[in-house]
Amino acid sequence: MEIVKEFSRFAHEYNKYNVIQKEVAKRLVSYIPKGLYHKILDLGSGDGAIYKALNYSNIEFDKFVAFDFSKEMLKIHPENDNIEKICMDFNQLNSFSIFKKDEFDLLISSSALQWSRDLLSILTTIAPLAKEHYFAFFTSNTFKTLHQTVNIDSPIYSRDEITKALDKVFSYEMEIVEYSLDFNSVYEMLKYIKRSGVGGGTEHLSYKKMKYLLENYPLKYLEFEVLFVKSI
Ligand SMILES: C[S@@+](CC[C@H](N)C(=O)[O-])C[C@H]1O[C@@H](n2cnc3c(N)ncnc32)[C@H](O)[C@@H]1O
């Protein structure tokens, strides 16, 4: 399978701790055919990267449901007459009982479902809610060299675990994109990981391991691997 590679440099800017998620949201939306959609559900909507990317791409819709379990994130999500904000946890499967079968034209989830506790159960529950599905999952190859350097496991699903779950629920097309983000120092990388919300696994590193990492991480960049999925 062909793997797309993208390179960026970390810049000290506003919104800097989610540069990769923003790129991911734009790419995911680029797979959606232009047109007018009735209702769209965005799982783990965050600060509205998907909503903004849809507007930017001139994809029109009557109603957009922003679903997130963080009140703070929903607060900073754009507001509009056609946006409904729902504060719920996608790990609680009964959260989805408020929706009807085929209620949505599009179900989108970008950079969020790597946090699902039981991916197969969520996918099985959400599949009937929409006609088309678009997902972007960060995989465990994200921060791979960093994890290897200090000998820790990624807290998020592997590519294999994600495709195994998808295979049971969807017919789909997928693309894998590797991103790398350059930094001036390992210290800045660790700060980025902590704030990015992607799933670093570095939160509980001992002082000794942290010191080892700062001195021995061999790359000038952080690695990210994202699996893009479109149901067919
Ligand atoms: C990395 S952010 C991505 C946000 C946005 N989709 C984007 O592309 O920029 C992940 C989002 O998923 C939300 N999230 C994580 N676990 C969740 C859960 N169990 N239920 C609902 N939302 C969740 C977080 O609050 C956060 O806003």
pLDDT digits (tens, 9 = 90+) for 106-153: 999 999 999 999 999 999 999 999 999 999 999 999 999 999 999 999
**Burial (0-12, 13-18, 19+ Cβ within 10 Å), 161:** middle
* Cα 210 to Cα 215: distance, rounded to the nearest angstrom: 9
- Cβ 113 under 6 angstroms from ligand 1: no
pLDDT at 13 over 60: no
User: Mean pLDDT over residues 178-184, rounded?
Assistant: 94
- Cβ 90 under 6 angstroms from ligand 1: yes
Q: Give the atom of ligand 1 at the shortest distance from the alpha carbon of 28.
A: 8
Single pTM value for the model: 0.94
Give the pLDDT band (50/70/90) at residue 199. low
pLDDT at 227 over 90: yes
Q: How far is the CA of 92 from the centre of ligand 1 (A)?
A: 14
Range list of β-strands (E), 10-166: 36-43, 60-68, 83-87, 104-110, 130-138
CA distance from start to end of the chain:
19
* Protein residue closest via CA to atom 23 of ligand 1: 44
What proportion of the chain, given as a percentage, has pLDDT over 70?
Answer: 96
Cβ–Cβ under 8 Å, residues 226 and 138: yes
Domain edges within the chain = 3-142+155-180+227-231
> Which CATH number, 3.40.50.300, 3.40.50.2300, 3.40.50.150, 3.90.1150.10, labels domain 3-142+155-180+227-231?
3.40.50.150
- Cβ 110 under 6 angstroms from ligand 1: yes
* Protein residue closest via CA to atom 27 of ligand 1: 46
DSSP for 72-101, written as a single string: HHHHHS---TTEEEEE--TTSGGGGGGSPT
* Protein residue closest via CA to atom 4 of ligand 1: 46
- Cβ 228 under 6 angstroms from ligand 1: no
